[in-house]
Amino acid sequence: MAETRDVVIFDTTLRDGEQAPGFSMRVDEKIRMARELERLGVDIIEAGFPIASEADAEAVRLVATEVRRPVIAGLSRCATADIDCAGIALKPAARPRIHTFIATSDLHLERKLRITREACVEAAVDAVRRARQYTDDVQFSAEDATRSEADFLCLVVERVIDAGATTVNLPDTVGYSTPDEIEAFFRAIIERVPNAHRALFSTHCHDDLGLAVANSLAAVRAGVSQIECTINGIGERAGNASLEEIVMVSRVRPDRAAFRTRIDTREIYAASQLLQAVTGEPVQANKAIVGRNAFAHEAGIHQDGVLKDRRTYEIMRPEDVGVPRMTLVLGKHSGRHAVQRRCEELGFQLTRFEVDRVYRQMIALADRTKSVSDADLAAIVSVVRQDVPALRPGTLLAKARPGPRIVRVPRRDAPAAPELGYGHGV
Ligand code: KIV
Ligand code: ZN
Q: What is the pLDDT of residues 382-394, one digit of tens each?
A: 889 876 444 443 3
Q: Show me where the domains of the chain are located.
A: 5-279, 298-426
**At 204, which helix (H) or strand (E)?**
strand 200-205
Residue 399 has pLDDT above 50, yes or no: no
Residue 43 has pLDDT above 70, yes or no: yes
Backbone angles phi, psi at 173, to 5 degrees: -55, -35
- CA gap 178, 176 in Å, rounded: 7
Q: Which of 76-85, 251-260, 334-343 has the lowest mean pLDDT?
A: 334-343
Highest mean pLDDT: which range of 141-150, 366-375, 382-391: 141-150
The answer to whether the beta carbons of residues 76 and 98 sit under 8 Å apart is yes
- CA gap 362, 391 in Å, rounded: 10
Tell me the chain's radius of gyration from C-alpha atoms.
27
- CA gap 265, 283 in Å, rounded: 18
Q: State in Å: Cα 349 to ligand 2 middle.
A: 54
- CA gap 116, 329 in Å, rounded: 59
Residues lining ligand 1, Cβ inside 6 A: 16, 101, 141, 143, 169, 171, 173, 204, 206
pLDDT value, residue 422: 25
Angle (nearest 5°) at CA 315 between 312 and 319 = 110
Superfamily of domain 5-279: Aldolase class I (3.20.20.70)
SS3 at position 372:
strand
SS3 at position 58:
helix
Q: State in Å: Cα 344 to ligand 2 middle.
A: 49
As a whole number, mean pLDDT of residues 161-187 equals 98
Q: Which of 1, 2, 40, 4 is nearest to 13 (CA)?
A: 40
Mean pLDDT estimate for the chain: 89
Q: State in Å: Cα 2 to ligand 1 middle.
A: 30
The answer to whether the beta carbons of residues 229 and 250 sit under 8 Å apart is no
pLDDT value, residue 414: 35
Neighbours of 54 (CB within 10 A): 9
Q: How confident is the model at residue 168 (pLDDT cuts 50, 70, 90)?
A: very high
Residue 328 has pLDDT above 90, yes or no: no
- CA gap 297, 328 in Å, rounded: 5
Q: Which of 12-16, 262-266, 391-395, 420-424 has the lowest mean pLDDT?
A: 420-424
Backbone angles phi, psi at 46, to 5 degrees: -85, 110
pTM: 0.83
Kindly give the number of the ligand 1 atom that is closest to the alpha carbon of 144: 3
The answer to whether the beta carbons of residues 14 and 48 sit under 8 Å apart is yes
Please, where are the H alpha helices in 133-198?
A: 150-163, 179-192
Per cent of the chain over pLDDT 90 is 77
Angle (nearest 5°) at CA 242 between 282 and 82 = 100
Which residue type sits at 252?
A: V
Q: Which of 76, 81, 80, 121 is nearest to 96 (CA)?
A: 76
Which one of 143, 153, 216 would you pick to mutate in the ligand 1 pocket, going by the greatest count of ligand atoms within 8 A of its CB? Answer: 143
pLDDT value, residue 326: 59
Which one of 19, 98, 101 would you pick to mutate in the ligand 1 pocket, going by the greatest count of ligand atoms within 8 A of its CB? Answer: 101
- CA gap 288, 16 in Å, rounded: 20
- CA gap 139, 202 in Å, rounded: 9
The answer to whether the beta carbons of residues 220 and 257 sit under 8 Å apart is yes
pLDDT tens digits, one per residue of 54-63: 999 999 999 9
| CA distances to 131, 132, 193, 222 from 155, in Å | 20, 20, 8, 20
Residue 260 has pLDDT above 90, yes or no: yes
Kindly give the number of the ligand 1 atom that is closest to the alpha carbon of 16: 8
| CA distances to 166, 265, 289, 321 from 248, in Å | 28, 8, 8, 9
pLDDT value, residue 280: 94
Residue 165 has pLDDT above 50, yes or no: yes
The answer to whether the beta carbons of residues 60 and 21 sit under 8 Å apart is no
* Atom 5 in ligand 1: residue holding the nearest Cα: 143
Q: What is the dihedral of CA 211, 215, 216, 218, to 10 degrees?
A: 150
Neighbours of 251 (CB within 10 A): 15
As a whole number, mean pLDDT of residues 88-105 equals 98
More confident of the two residues 147 and 1: 147
pLDDT value, residue 273: 94
pLDDT value, residue 411: 33
Ligand lying nearest the CA atom of residue 239: 2
| CA distances to 176, 214, 260, 326 from 222, in Å | 18, 13, 15, 37
Q: State in Å: Cα 168 to ligand 1 middle.
A: 12
* Atom 1 in ligand 1: residue holding the nearest Cα: 173
More confident of the two residues 349 and 249: 249
